[in-house]
Chains A and B, each alone.
Chain A
Amino acid sequence: MVAPDTLRVVRCGGSALCGARAVFSADSKYLLCASGDFVKVYSVNTEETLRLMGGHADLVTGIQLNPHNHMQLYSSSLDGTIKLWDFMDGILIKTFNVGSKLLALYTLASAEDSVFVVIPKNGERDTFQLVSVKLTKGASQDLESKELSVVLDDVGPSMKHIAFGREGAYVVSVKGVNLQVYFFKRKLLNRFSLSTVKTKGDNRFSCVVCHPTEDCLATGHADGKIRLWRNFHHKKEYTYSALHWHHDIVMDLAFSVEGTRLLSGGVESVLVQWHNESSCQKDFLPRLGSPIEYISLSSDGALCCTLHTDNRITIINSNLRFSRSIQGLIKSRDVKTGLVVDPRTKALVLNGEPGHLQFYSLQSDQQLFSLDIVQRQYIHEAGLKQSDLVKVAFSAQGTWLATVEESEEVTDPELQLKLWFYHEEEQSFQLNTRINTPHDNHITDMCFRDMDELGDDSLILVTTGRDCVFKVWVMVEDTDPEAQQSVSWTCDFVGSYHNYQATNCCFSEDGSLLAVSFEETVTVWDSLTWDLKCTFCHPPGNIRKICFGRLTCSKYLIGTTDYGFLCCWNLLTCALEWNAHLNVVVLQPDPLSEHIAAVSWLSKESSLFVFKPNEPRPIYIQRNLCKEKILLAAFVPRDEPEMISSEKYLWLRKSQPFFLTDTQELMTLSTKSLEERLTPSSKQLAVEESLPVTPFSLLLGKHRRQQAQEDIDLGKPVVHNKQEQASPAVKELLHTPAHVLPSASFLCTIFINSLLISKENKSAEEVADEVEMESEKAEDDSDEEDVTAMEQEDTSHMELLGEMPCKLSKSQEKELRRIRKTDYSWISAF
């Protein structure tokens, strides 16, 4: 396909998985998840994303299997449509347009052709109602389904707030401290409410589930209690018992298939399994990494899956053993590290789990690995001063990694600068040096002097801090021969400028100059002698970001200020080259070209400007890149330069820009369409291929392989036969005395034809005709010839060899003879 003229903005990762509970397919082989505007199909065994089903225009809020056909899936979205999918093939079957925002979706086996959705009540804000939607039947793909009947009023907006009871006999809804149960058959509505006065804690409902076989309800509460309700048929004699382990809100509950076990999860990121409500016996699966948002079970009860707030899916065995986790771009609380590209793996590196650095592979939309930086147990509790990673820098070859971590405390940030060395044998980063309190106040920026050609000796790390200094760290060889490591890092130089806070630092491409911004001023330092060379400023407004130009534009220094100016200074003349009024939030140079991308944030939309420092006119402008605010950007080098026909997009040739929004969604610009981007492998549901090798399949595979081997062995003699059959022609040619042979021009065609593989009998007949005329004797030989091969090719070969096939039908033979006779008679008649 020719690259289309338009550049499209593509969301390529990090979409929130927390729209709805995940759903296992009926055979528990696939896991279906609502991910942003898409529905994703994962293979449970291989953790791969098998399919991405797009079509909704807004967030998907609910997915449910079609109870009447478990190969189909209903999905609801905020765009007001319910879509029916065949998730095995990724085909959209039908779209039902409901008309109002859909907040949750439920299906019931007993309800023939209707589904239940939660919609906002007309005219009232923050009031929702549960309605049943009659799915109209029709041939066309887009259908209007406006036939709504209200089931329950005043329900909660989340799908966790409503549950359908045993065989769809009743529906339960919780909101605030109120619980309501509606019995379909009896058309009875029971309301219960908890007293808010008696209890100390916040006992509002957070979620509700129904027992699959008994009349029993389990509700989770904001104070961490779980209540089990029974006898709720009666308005007065209802009973409930409480289970309490969680110290904070119960996020989700799930009954096992038989109803003997209850699973609960919350912000503690511990999955709790309650065995028996009376004995309070419970099992735990602790340290799942991040708060549990949803729990869902497969229909056979063998697997359980938890969706976490950081967009991770954990699959857990029925015996409460961690099985595997599906993780794409992990959502961290705050991406403080920025988007960094790992030079070794070309993976995006940013904050992951608390205290971890995630390496996210852009090609496979998977997390490559997670590096534990802080190395402390993370306590999931609100109000704690956690320490987290704030800055990350890689050296040019990716051999060194510098990280800065600090705790959230304002007065004593407990700063630590860590330097990690990439260990080739273990294929991971190992801690080399830890520096406690490298600066007296928060570190604002950090960069390596990366010079490929000079090797490790030139490696310098610069950190800037709010304590008004920047520090230069160098590697020193350890003199002690018995020390475990040969090098360590130490401070070499401390520079300051008029006691201003240092905010940014940047090395020029050749590493000779260091630019450090101090509030309103940019200072340029010689990196050999650490002398201050010159200063630039563009008052008013602090410098927000600085970078040097590259390649042909290396004489320019670009800076952006708080007051919305983009300035370009010439380092040779020490003067302002040009400036532009632009509120730049992100300034990102492309490491492989002169281009610099600037993302501005103006009136609730982000715009992208790409320019070269040597000319003030941008070479590319994309207005309204997205509605969200873009916080970070990175250029990821392509493996091979992409062929781009359009002059306008040449800047995309060597590297691809990626943007991270404030909702931690990853976006990129691509000239390719969505279909092209998806690799063919992900288009097929590779059922067999995706299965792991079991001992049985190994056994089977061995057997199959043997067969294949036999086939090959069989195949060989066939080939030999052909050669043997071809040889008589040659033999004949060579062994017949020269004076008996016909002319060479006559023989040539026969010889050449003997080497051809012909399948057409008709032509063979004609040739046979001629051959017969030539030698009658050979005909007799052909009868004696041992012909084992039954293939048509072989017969044709024999024909071409000038031997009458024994396989020719009698009629054909007769015909041939007749022709011969007539021929002769005709000649004699002459």
Chain B
Amino acid sequence: MAAYKPVVVQTCPRLGEKITQDTLYWRGYKTPVQIKEFGAVNKIDFSPAPPYNYAVTASSRIHIYGRYSQEPIKTFSRFREAAYCATYRDDGRLLAAGSEEGSICLFDVSGKAPLRQFEGHTKPVHVVGFLSDKYRIFSGGDDYSSALWDIPSAREIISYSEHTDYVRCGCASKVNADVFITGSYDHTVKLFDARTKSSVMTIEHGHPVESVLLFPSGGLLVSAGGRYVKVWDVLKGGQLLVSLKNHHKTVTCLCLNSSGQRLLSGSLDRHVKIYSTTSYKVVHSFNYATSILSLALSPEDETIVVGMTNGVLNVKHRKPEEKNENSQKKRQPVYRTYMKGKTYMPKQEDFCVSKPVKRVLRKYDKLLRSFQSSKALDAVLEPPIMLHTPEVTVAVMQELHRRGTLRSALAGRDEKQVNLLLTFVARRVIEPRFTSVLVTVADMITDIYHPVVGQSAVVDKQFLKLKEAIGKEIDYQEELLEVLGMMDTLFATFTKKSLEENKSNGVKEIIQTNRSY
């Protein structure tokens, strides 16, 4: 004897985005705060020291924002023309920035006027950075050269003129105080050692390099340029590890998260993609309003700041962790009643009598078991089921149809119920997974209730809605068929070509039109 088998609800796997740990993590940000800057935001840099202020370079100013402030807490505006690449030192006390006129300014975060000014570049300086010994600055300019400066004496230590185009990005190694890299529009990334006279390594990226990044370990190098993000193994002499092509416009900025497990890339295509650094697969992506020029992530991933071409700064803060204390409290009472007898371990000679497992049936299953078709249909037409799990409603309708009692279950309903039923059908009949069942249902409803059409304005309206929905769907399908026809023509011409090619190879083949569903 078999037990009652519940109705099988056919769940389709949800298409599109899958909920993973990453999506949950990266979705955990509040709605963004938008701050308008004066010009395109070309650099955002977080102070490595608490309270993690960040410097935003836009137009001729450098604004320093506090963590939650919407107004700049400090502004450096001593630039005649545009400022570039304001970068913090490791201790967060000094700030260096390049400028359009070719000088490099070094500011104290607490002061106003520049502490030092380094002159030497003849063209705008787009990239500035501190080496990890804290006493030297490297820079790269549009005069194709990159230079190294001594902070105390404000002198140039060495200058390299190896690039053949603008130097637009660079990065210092955190492991070795003498090593830094620069990326240039001449499609190369060069690795310099301050102790040698020339570059020690050249990596051919293949596109104008917009951004470079070194992993904290110093072993891996990431370069972005064109639509590509490429990862190189520096220790293996610059071998390409992986090439990522997930953007459809130029990638402008790169950033690592605080744990080093995720790589973020921003692009002119308005997307920020997040890659896992183990599999190099996109695990999440953010969508922004306009093209992205700069991107920064605060320590502990608390804040994501994105700078756009239209001068808008988009700041996202992480939601505070939800506390489940309240729900835990509810479970607490009467520990003893719940634990009574549960901790008893049966001895060897004990004879265990297991409780029969109580099968919990859903309400509609109970009704279906006792052949109460109408009531079963009522049970699944309740708003929570109907709205959130329409597949359950449809499954029960299908089951009733299979039992041959759908017509009697649908019949004999009042205005309100018919309205409810028709709303559901009109809304869901166009969903392909429900269509076959709901078309039958719609057919039966019209059959049963056509004598009373005109008696209720509400029901009539629903009927019209249903008609409209079906009409729209038919038009849509026709359009799709047209597109399919066009594509078939294209495919046919394509296969003809390949057939000719094959014939020229002397291979005779019968071409099958493969249509995979």
Contact = CB atoms under 8 A, between A and B. Distances in A.
A322 B3 CA distance: 11
A461 to B, nearest CB: 15
B8 A482 contact: no
Given A375-B8, A384-B402, A385-B402, A322 B1 contact: yes
Interface in B481-517: 509-510, 512, 514-517
B402 A494 contact: no
B436 A376 contact: no
Contacts of A376: 5, 7-8, 399, 402
B2 interface: yes
A289 B1 contact: yes
B377 to A, nearest CB: 16
A494 B404 contact: no
B455 interface: no
A495 B512 contact: yes
B394 to A, nearest CB: 13
A289 B5 CA distance: 12
A496 B512 contact: yes
A383 B404 contact: yes
User: Taking each of B3, B436, B512, which has the highest tally of chain A beta carbons within 10 Å of its own beta carbon?
Assistant: B512
Contacts of A377: 4-5, 7, 368-369
Contacts of A494: 514-517
A436 B20 contact: no
A288 interface: yes
A494 B514 CA distance: 6
Interface string A603-637: 00000000000000000000000000000000000
Contacts of B2: 287, 289
B18 interface: yes
Interface in A368-416: 372, 375-377, 379, 381, 383-387, 407, 412
A285 interface: yes
Given A491-B516, A494-B514, A494-B516, A375 B5 contact: yes
Interface string B1-18: 111110110100000001
A357 B515 CA distance: 33
B4 A287 contact: yes
A227 B5 CA distance: 33
User: Taking each of A322, A379, A381, A386, which has the highest tally of chain B beta carbons within 10 Å of its own beta carbon?
Assistant: A379
B403 interface: yes
Contacts of A496: 512
Nearest to B19: A482
Contacts of B369: 377
Contacts of A379: 402-403
A407 B436 CA distance: 14
Interface string A454-496: 0000000000000000000000000010100000000101111
Nearest to B436: A412
A380 to B, nearest CB: 11
A415 B1 CA distance: 27
Nearest to B5: A377
Contacts of A531: 509-510
A436 B10 contact: yes
A287 B510 CA distance: 55
Contacts of A436: 10
B404 A287 contact: no
A64 interface: no
Interface residues of A, number: 32
Interface in B1-51: 1-5, 7-8, 10, 18, 20
Nearest to B433: A436
A498 B515 CA distance: 15
B512 A287 contact: no
A381 B404 contact: yes
Given A287-B3, A289-B1, A375-B5, A480 B18 contact: yes
Interface residues of B, number: 24
Contact of A532 (B3, B5, B510, B514): B510
B243 to A, nearest CB: 20
Contacts of B517: 491, 494
Interface string A347-382: 000000000000000000000000010011101010
A81 interface: no
Interface string B340-366: 000000000000000000000000000
A532 to B, nearest CB: 5
Contacts of A412: 436
A643 B449 CA distance: 75
B1 A314 contact: yes
User: Taking each of B5, B18, B20, B510, which has the highest tally of chain A beta carbons within 10 Å of its own beta carbon?
Assistant: B5
Nearest to B515: A494
Contacts of A386: 402
B1 A285 contact: yes
A175 to B, nearest CB: 32
Contacts of A387: 402
A532 B508 CA distance: 11
User: Taking each of B10, B20, B510, B514, which has the highest tally of chain A beta carbons within 10 Å of its own beta carbon?
Assistant: B514
A381 B403 CA distance: 9
A108 to B, nearest CB: 35
Contacts of B399: 376
B367 to A, nearest CB: 13
Contacts of B402: 376, 379, 384-387, 407
Nearest to A323: B1
A384 B515 CA distance: 35
User: Taking each of A285, A325, A377, A387, which has the highest tally of chain B beta carbons within 10 Å of its own beta carbon?
Assistant: A377
A777 B3 CA distance: 89
Given A412-B436, A491-B516, A287 B1 contact: yes
A287 B3 CA distance: 7
Contacts of A286: 1
A482 B369 CA distance: 36
User: Taking each of B2, B10, B399, B403, which has the highest tally of chain A beta carbons within 10 Å of its own beta carbon?
Assistant: B2
Interface string B130-147: 000000000000000000
Contact of A384 (B10, B368, B404): B404
A252 to B, nearest CB: 18
Contacts of B436: 412
A224 to B, nearest CB: 14
Contacts of B10: 436
A131 to B, nearest CB: 40
A6 B207 CA distance: 86
A288 B404 contact: no
Interface in A475-531: 480, 482, 491, 493-496, 530-531
Contacts of B4: 287, 377
Contacts of B7: 376-377
A286 B10 CA distance: 26
Nearest to B2: A287
A379 B400 CA distance: 11
A94 to B, nearest CB: 40
A289 B4 CA distance: 11
Interface of B: 1-5, 7-8, 10, 18, 20, 368-369, 399, 402-404, 436, 509-510, 512, 514-517
19 contacts: A285-B1, A287-B1, A287-B4, A288-B1, A289-B2, A375-B8, A377-B4, A377-B7, A377-B368, A379-B402, A383-B404, A384-B403, A386-B402, A387-B402, A407-B402, A480-B18, A491-B517, A493-B516, A496-B512
Interface of A: 285-289, 314, 322, 325, 372, 375-377, 379, 381, 383-387, 407, 412, 436, 480, 482, 491, 493-496, 530-532
The 9 closest A-B pairs by CB, nearest first: A322-B1, A377-B5, A287-B2, A379-B403, A532-B510, A384-B404, A288-B1, A287-B1, A375-B8
Given A480-B18, A491-B517, 5 more contacts: A287-B1, A384-B403, A407-B402, A491-B516, A530-B512
